[in-house]
């Protein structure tokens, strides 16, 4: 994906305002037609209300699906192509453009809000914790649940890098439920508590949703084996990450752990 295509996705949500207006006009016209054919009878009104109650949720679902589809397309850069640097570059492009061009409707604002969360995460996975923290503290992200989630990510990432297990567990226990519900996060917490076998068992049963999750899963399994002294098993998993991690930082972290074998 190129920057131009990313900007095009962002711009596409502005035109959905016209689609919403068209839907409203169609329903008004339908109401007038039904009323005329049924002489304003209760049956005509009932038919119209039934149509509205059916079509409105369908329309909302369609729009939500469109937003999710666009977000997933962008996420593929890191989740499937495993290019975290390009991901940061593309997301920043959208953030920069959106910051200088006022959002035209709620759909575009919603998409931009999601991109703000993705931008902070892109900074974190690229090892730019300080920049991510500054962005979150700047007040740019208005949605508090996003800020809480991202702060937990930053604090846990820092504690992990420092090798401070006690601090890591303390932060993890206070982290938002949405963070702890992620299986990979829960298993990393088990590893940090020294519960290596539990972490390995949980990850072996887990089915990754994409290539990046597979890299993260294998990296954590490899680290757990290394920490418990099973160097032969650790070697298998760490070599996979090194050979398939492309530009992900887990590849370089695996290379450092590999030196301990």
Q: Look at residue 27 in the predicted model and tell me its pLDDT.
A: 53
Residue 48, helix vs strand vs coil: helix
State pLDDT tens for residues 32-57.
555 545 555 555 455 545 544 555 45
- Mean per-residue pLDDT for 210-226? 97
> What is the pLDDT confidence band of residue 207, given thresholds at 50, 70 and 90?
very high
Per-residue confidence band for 3, with pLDDT thresholds at 50, 70 and 90: confident
Summarised one tens digit per residue, pLDDT across range 15-31 is 655 455 445 545 555 55
Contact 238, 254 (CB under 8 A): yes
pLDDT at 156: 96
Residue 25: per-residue pLDDT: 47
- The answer to whether 119 touches 111, Cβ cutoff 8 Å, is no
Please say if the pLDDT value at position 231 is more than 70: yes
pLDDT bracket for residue 72 (50, 70, 90): confident
**62: pLDDT confidence band, cut at 50, 70 and 90?**
low
* For helices 3-12 and 42-79, angle between their N-to-C axes, nearest 10 degrees: 160
Residue 2 has pLDDT above 60, yes or no: yes
**Span 203-208, average pLDDT:** 96
pLDDT digits (tens, 9 = 90+) for 246-258: 999 999 999 999 9
Best CA proximity match to 117, nearest among 81, 151, 84, 78: 151
- 50 burial (CB, 10 Å; 0-12 / 13-18 / 19+) is exposed
| Residue 234 CB partners (closer than 8 Å, separation 6+) | 222, 223, 225, 226, 257, 261
Average pLDDT over residues 104-110: 79
Q: Per-residue pLDDT for 259 more than 70?
A: yes
């Amino acid at each position: 994906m190129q920057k131009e295509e990313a900007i095009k996705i962002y711009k596409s949500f502005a035109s959905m305002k016209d689609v919403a207006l068209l839907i409203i006009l169609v329903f008004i016209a339908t109401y007038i037609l039904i009323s005329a054919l049924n002489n304003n009878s209760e049956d005509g009104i009932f038919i119209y209300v039934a149509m509205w109650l059916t079509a409105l949720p369908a329309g909302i679902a369609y729009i939500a699906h469109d937003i999710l589809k666009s977000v997933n397309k962008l996420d593929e850069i890191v989740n499937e192509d495993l290019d975290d640097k390009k991901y940061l570059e593309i997301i920043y492009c959208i953030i920069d453009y959106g910051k200088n061009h006022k959002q035209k409707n709620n759909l575009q604002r919603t998409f931009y809000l999601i991109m703000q969360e993705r931008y902070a995460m892109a900074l974190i996975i690229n090892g730019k914790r300080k920049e991510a923290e500054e962005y979150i503290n700047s007040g740019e992200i208005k949605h508090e649940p996003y800020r809480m989630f991202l702060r937990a990510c930053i604090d846990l990432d820092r504690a992990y890098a420092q090798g401070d297990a006690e601090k890591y567990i303390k932060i993890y226990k206070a982290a938002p439920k949405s963070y702890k519900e992620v299986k990979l996060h829960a298993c990393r917490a088990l590893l940090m508590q020294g519960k290596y076998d539990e972490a390995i068992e949980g990850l072996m049963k887990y089915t990754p949703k994409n290539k990046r999750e597979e890299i993260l899963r294998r990296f954590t399994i490899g680290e757990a084996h290394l920490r418990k002294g099973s160097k032969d098993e650790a070697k298998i998993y760490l070599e996979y990450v090194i050979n398939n991690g492309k530009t992900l930082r887990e590849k370089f972290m695996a290379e450092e752990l590999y030196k301990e074998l």
